[in-house]
Amino acid sequence: MVDQLTLQTISIVMTGLTLSIAAIYYTFTLKYTRANMKNTLETRQATLMMNIFRELTSERRWEQYIESAYVIDLADYEDFHERYGRNNPKKYSQILSLWWSYTIVGGLLFDGLLDDDKVYHLMGTMIITQWEKWGEIIRALREDLQAPAAFMEFEYLYNRMKLLENKPGYLEKRISDLTV
Protein backbone atom coordinates (compact mmCIF):
# COMPACT_ATOMS: atom_id res chain seq x y z
CA MET A 1 0.00 0.00 0.00
CA VAL A 2 1.14 3.57 -0.76
CA ASP A 3 1.70 5.84 2.21
CA GLN A 4 0.17 9.29 2.50
CA LEU A 5 3.45 11.18 1.95
CA THR A 6 3.94 9.43 -1.39
CA LEU A 7 0.37 10.27 -2.43
CA GLN A 8 0.92 13.92 -1.52
CA THR A 9 4.18 14.00 -3.45
CA ILE A 10 2.55 12.43 -6.51
CA SER A 11 -0.34 14.88 -6.21
CA ILE A 12 2.02 17.89 -6.02
CA VAL A 13 4.07 16.63 -8.98
CA MET A 14 0.91 16.04 -11.04
CA THR A 15 -0.39 19.52 -10.16
CA GLY A 16 2.93 21.07 -11.14
CA LEU A 17 3.01 19.06 -14.36
CA THR A 18 -0.57 20.04 -15.19
CA LEU A 19 0.18 23.72 -14.56
CA SER A 20 3.32 23.50 -16.70
CA ILE A 21 1.40 21.90 -19.56
CA ALA A 22 -1.35 24.55 -19.24
CA ALA A 23 1.25 27.34 -19.30
CA ILE A 24 2.93 25.87 -22.39
CA TYR A 25 -0.45 25.44 -24.10
CA TYR A 26 -1.40 29.03 -23.22
CA THR A 27 1.92 30.32 -24.59
CA PHE A 28 1.45 28.49 -27.90
CA THR A 29 -2.16 29.65 -28.14
CA LEU A 30 -1.14 33.25 -27.45
CA LYS A 31 1.64 33.07 -30.04
CA TYR A 32 -0.74 31.62 -32.64
CA THR A 33 -3.39 34.26 -31.84
CA ARG A 34 -0.86 37.08 -32.23
CA ALA A 35 0.35 35.72 -35.55
CA ASN A 36 -3.23 35.35 -36.74
CA MET A 37 -4.07 38.91 -35.67
CA LYS A 38 -0.99 40.22 -37.49
CA ASN A 39 -1.99 38.38 -40.66
CA THR A 40 -5.54 39.71 -40.38
CA LEU A 41 -4.25 43.27 -39.94
CA GLU A 42 -1.91 42.95 -42.92
CA THR A 43 -4.75 41.55 -45.03
CA ARG A 44 -7.04 44.41 -44.02
CA GLN A 45 -4.33 46.97 -44.77
CA ALA A 46 -3.71 45.42 -48.18
CA THR A 47 -7.43 45.43 -48.96
CA LEU A 48 -7.73 49.04 -47.84
CA MET A 49 -4.69 50.03 -49.94
CA MET A 50 -6.07 48.30 -53.01
CA ASN A 51 -9.47 49.98 -52.62
CA ILE A 52 -7.82 53.37 -52.29
CA PHE A 53 -5.47 52.66 -55.15
CA ARG A 54 -8.37 51.51 -57.36
CA GLU A 55 -10.19 54.76 -56.63
CA LEU A 56 -7.16 56.97 -57.18
CA THR A 57 -6.21 55.25 -60.43
CA SER A 58 -9.62 55.06 -62.02
CA GLU A 59 -9.87 56.65 -65.45
CA ARG A 60 -11.87 59.53 -64.00
CA ARG A 61 -9.24 60.16 -61.31
CA TRP A 62 -6.40 59.99 -63.84
CA GLU A 63 -8.16 62.66 -65.90
CA GLN A 64 -8.50 64.81 -62.78
CA TYR A 65 -4.90 64.14 -61.78
CA ILE A 66 -3.48 64.98 -65.22
CA GLU A 67 -5.56 68.12 -65.54
CA SER A 68 -4.71 69.13 -61.98
CA ALA A 69 -0.99 68.44 -62.26
CA TYR A 70 -0.20 69.42 -65.83
CA VAL A 71 -3.01 71.36 -67.52
CA ILE A 72 -4.11 73.89 -64.94
CA ASP A 73 -1.68 76.78 -64.77
CA LEU A 74 -2.26 79.34 -62.05
CA ALA A 75 -0.46 82.47 -61.05
CA ASP A 76 -1.63 82.54 -57.43
CA TYR A 77 -4.56 81.94 -55.09
CA GLU A 78 -6.58 84.82 -56.55
CA ASP A 79 -6.20 83.31 -60.02
CA PHE A 80 -7.32 79.93 -58.64
CA HIS A 81 -10.25 81.49 -56.85
CA GLU A 82 -11.44 83.34 -59.97
CA ARG A 83 -11.05 80.43 -62.40
CA TYR A 84 -11.58 77.32 -60.29
CA GLY A 85 -13.05 78.50 -57.00
CA ARG A 86 -16.62 78.52 -55.76
CA ASN A 87 -17.69 80.49 -58.86
CA ASN A 88 -16.99 77.38 -60.94
CA PRO A 89 -18.66 74.58 -58.93
CA LYS A 90 -17.82 71.80 -61.40
CA LYS A 91 -14.06 72.47 -61.48
CA TYR A 92 -13.95 73.41 -57.80
CA SER A 93 -15.62 70.15 -56.78
CA GLN A 94 -13.29 68.12 -59.01
CA ILE A 95 -10.21 69.70 -57.45
CA LEU A 96 -11.58 69.43 -53.91
CA SER A 97 -12.50 65.79 -54.54
CA LEU A 98 -8.94 65.00 -55.56
CA TRP A 99 -7.52 66.85 -52.55
CA TRP A 100 -9.91 65.07 -50.21
CA SER A 101 -8.80 61.71 -51.60
CA TYR A 102 -5.25 62.49 -50.57
CA THR A 103 -6.51 63.89 -47.26
CA ILE A 104 -8.25 60.61 -46.50
CA VAL A 105 -5.12 58.61 -47.33
CA GLY A 106 -3.10 60.95 -45.11
CA GLY A 107 -5.56 60.48 -42.26
CA LEU A 108 -5.41 56.71 -42.56
CA LEU A 109 -1.62 56.88 -42.63
CA PHE A 110 -1.57 59.16 -39.58
CA ASP A 111 -3.86 56.75 -37.70
CA GLY A 112 -1.52 53.86 -38.48
CA LEU A 113 -3.98 52.06 -40.73
CA LEU A 114 -1.66 52.30 -43.72
CA ASP A 115 2.06 51.76 -44.07
CA ASP A 116 3.91 54.79 -45.46
CA ASP A 117 6.31 52.61 -47.44
CA LYS A 118 3.42 50.89 -49.23
CA VAL A 119 1.67 54.21 -49.84
CA TYR A 120 4.86 55.61 -51.34
CA HIS A 121 5.31 52.65 -53.66
CA LEU A 122 1.76 52.82 -54.93
CA MET A 123 1.22 56.57 -55.21
CA GLY A 124 4.09 58.53 -53.70
CA THR A 125 5.02 60.46 -56.83
CA MET A 126 1.37 61.36 -57.46
CA ILE A 127 1.05 62.73 -53.93
CA ILE A 128 4.28 64.70 -54.17
CA THR A 129 3.36 66.15 -57.56
CA GLN A 130 -0.08 67.19 -56.34
CA TRP A 131 1.06 68.85 -53.13
CA GLU A 132 3.91 70.68 -54.85
CA LYS A 133 1.41 71.98 -57.40
CA TRP A 134 -1.32 72.90 -54.92
CA GLY A 135 0.31 73.36 -51.50
CA GLU A 136 0.48 77.15 -51.59
CA ILE A 137 -3.07 77.37 -52.95
CA ILE A 138 -4.31 75.08 -50.16
CA ARG A 139 -2.53 77.18 -47.52
CA ALA A 140 -4.14 80.34 -48.91
CA LEU A 141 -7.52 78.57 -49.02
CA ARG A 142 -7.14 77.70 -45.32
CA GLU A 143 -6.70 81.37 -44.52
CA ASP A 144 -9.55 82.44 -46.80
CA LEU A 145 -11.94 79.90 -45.29
CA GLN A 146 -10.57 80.44 -41.77
CA ALA A 147 -10.09 76.68 -41.60
CA PRO A 148 -6.51 76.11 -40.42
CA ALA A 149 -6.90 72.31 -40.41
CA ALA A 150 -8.30 72.00 -43.94
CA PHE A 151 -6.37 69.36 -45.88
CA MET A 152 -3.78 68.99 -43.09
CA GLU A 153 -3.71 65.23 -43.60
CA PHE A 154 -2.86 65.82 -47.27
CA GLU A 155 0.08 67.98 -46.17
CA TYR A 156 1.07 65.35 -43.60
CA LEU A 157 0.94 62.71 -46.36
CA TYR A 158 3.16 64.83 -48.60
CA ASN A 159 5.67 65.36 -45.79
CA ARG A 160 5.83 61.60 -45.09
CA MET A 161 6.33 60.82 -48.80
CA LYS A 162 9.10 63.45 -49.12
CA LEU A 163 10.74 62.09 -45.98
CA LEU A 164 10.88 58.63 -47.55
CA GLU A 165 11.95 59.90 -50.94
CA ASN A 166 14.80 61.93 -49.40
CA LYS A 167 15.94 59.10 -47.12
CA PRO A 168 19.49 58.18 -48.25
CA GLY A 169 19.47 55.09 -50.43
CA TYR A 170 15.67 54.61 -50.25
CA LEU A 171 14.87 54.99 -53.94
CA GLU A 172 18.03 53.18 -55.02
CA LYS A 173 17.14 50.18 -52.86
CA ARG A 174 13.59 50.14 -54.18
CA ILE A 175 14.80 50.28 -57.78
CA SER A 176 17.36 47.58 -57.06
CA ASP A 177 14.70 45.35 -55.44
CA LEU A 178 12.38 45.77 -58.41
CA THR A 179 15.01 45.02 -61.05
CA VAL A 180 16.16 41.73 -59.53
pLDDT digits (tens, 9 = 90+) for 69-104: 888 888 889 999 888 888 888 888 889 989 999 999
Residue 67 vs residues 91, 94, 98, 119, 133: alpha-carbon distances, Å: 10, 10, 11, 22, 11
Question: What is d(CA 110, CA 106) in angstroms, rounded to the nearest whole number?
Answer: 6
Indicate yes or no: pTM above 0.85: no
- On the question of pLDDT at 133 being above 80, the answer is yes
CA 44/CA 41 separation, integer angstroms: 5
Q: Identify the pLDDT of residue 131.
A: 96
Q: What are phi and psi of 31, to 5 degrees?
A: -60, -45
Torsion of the alpha carbons at 173, 113, 30 and 33, rounded to the nearest 10:
-90
pLDDT at 110: 95
- Average confidence (pLDDT) over 104-119: 90
- pLDDT score of 56 more than 90: no
Q: Band of the pLDDT at 142, cuts 50, 70, 90?
A: very high
The strand ranges marked E within the chain are none
**Mean pLDDT lowest for which of 37-46, 116-125, 138-147?**
37-46
